[in-house]
Chain A
């Protein structure tokens, strides 16, 4: 039977708990703590002793990805990433920073919403079937190195998987136990635009602990009761003024480095007024429909369940895999895909991410992490495409759908969906 009844009181901090961490303001009570660089290993050990699987950044296949961390040496010490549309390169740093990179192709969603998971099982019993859902305990994760945009992405997926009438049991269980240790960005990539999406670069809420790395160690904030009790067990000392200053400068540097922007004013109505724009076809000429953007996106949630049967056919697992709106099969009805053109699929992705997501979940589906730009083989940049659509809309007065545009936007945005 169902095993979805995981307790959820232990969810990491919510916004109200983090009140006081105003932008650029150093909270005197909370932030004046410091974890020396040599003692990060103690944090990892404590978490492991507490039964957590610690997941953090590590080098793999020429990228910084997320995987299990058992010791500080697993971290990408002395490495950074350089990102451009369609380009990602690892480059050595001239220091020994552990979190001196931006974001890689992985996101934490692969641990909370696994790329492949069994959602149900059928076992033949004589002339009938026993049908059940999994009841194994889910892994308890501690995420180490969560960026502000990634905290925002987790909050978005919380709405998707936990906010509706039906709750996804797999996500719910994993989310209930996860411990979030954020690490503030101290640098940004050319693809970052979290400031436009108002998700970063500063971690303000949604974490248990938040660190800011400087050369000698980490300044530390707590964002939840769990974070506070964990902090009490760490060999923290009072942060010196110079350390706090360095940390603040690092955070400010990240913000200064963000150059990419997306104007989100009126974007919902604008995009839905452009559903007939010829620009979708223009993008489609470059888009490979490869699904990379949706795989690396920390909020994309499309999935498909497939049947995995043993050789006798008597035991069948229903396996859920990540899917993508760029796959034709996702819209197949009676053998025919509804969205059979790349243009219609790109339009679905972009308008969902930036417009109809708001109707569905009360938030944008984009957190401005820039992964879809970096990992797009031809380097399609959604902020550029949005800018072009905005220009086209401006040139044509109210978009290309002529007199129908205002009506469309009004009705789609009515929020009764």
Chain B
């Protein structure tokens, strides 16, 4: 099972939001933007930290809260970076705000990607669409701790080239040792990457030692299901497969019941899970 962050559990009212100011907004693909947030209370800025895979509850008074994964560098504490897609009332309210606006933040909450498990192992990250956002912190951390012999691969897929997230960062990641493979469902004339689903890429890439390869995937549930199926067929053990699940998180502290998935509260035991724990549940419709 992935590790639930104990460090984030502090002895304060779990309902208390902290004001953060939007210090910068990057418009990514249509309907998606990345916010850089700074605590209004400077004491929090110096103590706050997160682990890759965790999320926060961002709050626009009057509109409500939304669970948003953290997409920034875990080594940088001065600013909290989160990538948001317009998916509803709250997220649209957030992305509609300008620089300088103040919103609320609770968290970080939830489990994290198994970064430590990656030491001495090859890693394949599989992202679909905005699913790359919660994997970005792990990319940045893995690149920092990478040893010379380690193979790091990112398979990133989108419906079309213009919907690939963070495209201008891929070259920098490549220079630092990440093998970035892009694939789209529908290409245009300028496209030089692959065409097809991420699982097709996973099916054919070279794996030096499948039994010692960690796979982390985030994207639509159906994509993750097939990515895992393919990974298993390549001989990657169940214990080394990790995925990030999405459900309706309301309280983020396992008190409201919304995000249950079988025995799990996704906000607490998830969002990142070992496939070993989710396997029986992922075959059940409408759970």
Which residues in A have some Cβ–Cβ distance to B below 8 Å?
1-4, 119-120, 122, 124, 127-133, 160-161, 164-169, 272, 275-276, 301-307, 309, 313, 316, 318, 323, 325, 329-335, 338-341, 343-344, 348, 352, 355-356, 359-360, 404, 407-408, 411-412, 414, 416-417
A95 and B248 CA atoms in complex are apart in Å by 52
* Partner pick for A169 among B13, B262, B284, CB 8 A cutoff: B13
Contacts of B95 in A (CB 8 A): none
* Cβ of B220 to closest chain A Cβ, rounded Å: 10
Whether the pair A128, B14 counts as a contact (CB closer than 8 A) is no
* Cβ of A57 to closest chain B Cβ, rounded Å: 28
Whether the pair A133, B13 counts as a contact (CB closer than 8 A) is yes
Whether the pair A166, B254 counts as a contact (CB closer than 8 A) is yes
B64 contacts the other chain (CB 8 A): yes
* Cβ of B229 to closest chain A Cβ, rounded Å: 15
Q: Known contacts A4-B13, A165-B268, A338-B247; is A330 also within 8 Å of B258 by CB?
A: yes
Contact indicator per residue, chain B 12-54, by CB within 8 Å of chain A (1) or not (0): 1111111101000000000000000000100000000000000
Contacts of A334 in B (CB 8 A): 87-88, 246
Which residues in B have some Cβ–Cβ distance to A below 8 Å?
1, 4, 6, 9, 12-19, 21, 40, 59, 61-65, 87-88, 100, 102-104, 246-248, 250-251, 253-258, 260, 262-265, 268-269, 276-277, 279-281, 283-287
Between-chain CB contacts (< 8 Å), 14 pairs: A129-B61, A131-B17, A131-B61, A164-B255, A164-B268, A165-B4, A166-B254, A313-B62, A338-B287, A343-B286, A355-B263, A412-B280, A417-B264, A417-B269
Contacts of B100 in A (CB 8 A): 127
Contacts of B250 in A (CB 8 A): 303-305
Does more than half of chain A's interface fall in helix, strand or loop, or is it mixed?
mixed
Whether the pair B15, A318 counts as a contact (CB closer than 8 A) is yes
Whether the pair A133, B257 counts as a contact (CB closer than 8 A) is no
A417 and B2 CA atoms in complex are apart in Å by 10
Q: Known contacts A120-B17, A331-B248; is A307 also within 8 Å of B255 by CB?
A: no
Whether the pair A316, B62 counts as a contact (CB closer than 8 A) is yes
A93 and B65 CA atoms in complex are apart in Å by 52
Whether the pair B262, A412 counts as a contact (CB closer than 8 A) is yes
Q: Which residue of B lies closest to A280 (CB)?
A: B286
Whether the pair B257, A305 counts as a contact (CB closer than 8 A) is no
Q: Which residue of A lies closest to B274 (CB)?
A: A416
Given contacts A122-B61, A165-B253, A334-B246, 19 further A-B contacts (CB under 8 A): A4-B12, A128-B102, A164-B268, A167-B14, A272-B262, A307-B61, A309-B62, A316-B62, A331-B247, A332-B248, A334-B87, A335-B88, A338-B287, A340-B286, A411-B277, A411-B280, A414-B277, A416-B277, A417-B277
Q: Which residue of A lies closest to B67 (CB)?
A: A333
Whether the pair B286, A307 counts as a contact (CB closer than 8 A) is no
- 4 residue pairs, one from A and one from B, having the closest CB atoms: A2-B13, A359-B263, A302-B257, A344-B286
Contacts of A352 in B (CB 8 A): 260
Whether the pair A122, B255 counts as a contact (CB closer than 8 A) is no
A151 and B278 CA atoms in complex are apart in Å by 34
Whether the pair A119, B61 counts as a contact (CB closer than 8 A) is no
A359 and B61 CA atoms in complex are apart in Å by 35
Whether the pair B255, A168 counts as a contact (CB closer than 8 A) is yes
Q: Known contacts A166-B253, A168-B255, A360-B265; is A129 also within 8 Å of B19 by CB?
A: yes
* Partner pick for B40 among A128, A161, A313, CB 8 A cutoff: A128
* Partner pick for B16 among A133, A304, A306, A416, CB 8 A cutoff: A133
Q: Which residue of B lies closest to A413 (CB)?
A: B263
Does more than half of chain B's interface fall in helix, strand or loop, or is it mixed?
loop
A122 and B170 CA atoms in complex are apart in Å by 40
Q: Which residue of A lies closest to B249 (CB)?
A: A333
A164 and B109 CA atoms in complex are apart in Å by 14
Contacts of A329 in B (CB 8 A): 248
Whether the pair B246, A412 counts as a contact (CB closer than 8 A) is no
Contacts of B256 in A (CB 8 A): 301-305, 323
Contacts of B285 in A (CB 8 A): 344
Q: Known contacts A131-B19, A309-B62, A344-B287; is A302 also within 8 Å of B268 by CB?
A: no
Q: Which residue of B lies closest to A351 (CB)?
A: B262
A355 and B260 CA atoms in complex are apart in Å by 13
* Partner pick for A339 among B17, B21, B286, CB 8 A cutoff: B286
* Partner pick for B258 among A165, A307, A313, A331, CB 8 A cutoff: A331
Q: Which residue of B lies closest to A310 (CB)?
A: B62
* Cβ of B200 to closest chain A Cβ, rounded Å: 25
Contacts of B103 in A (CB 8 A): 129
Contacts of B258 in A (CB 8 A): 302, 304, 323, 330-331
A411 and B255 CA atoms in complex are apart in Å by 24
Contacts of B61 in A (CB 8 A): 122, 124, 129, 131, 307, 309, 313, 316
* Cβ of A247 to closest chain B Cβ, rounded Å: 39
Q: Which residue of B lies closest to A300 (CB)?
A: B257
* Partner pick for B15 among A119, A275, A331, A332, CB 8 A cutoff: A119
Whether the pair B255, A161 counts as a contact (CB closer than 8 A) is yes
Contacts of A302 in B (CB 8 A): 256-258
A3 and B253 CA atoms in complex are apart in Å by 18
A355 and B280 CA atoms in complex are apart in Å by 15
A406 and B79 CA atoms in complex are apart in Å by 48
Task: Select the residue from B21, B62, B268 with max chain A CB neighbours within 10 A.
Answer: B62
Q: Which residue of A lies closest to B283 (CB)?
A: A404
Q: Which residue of B lies closest to A304 (CB)?
A: B250
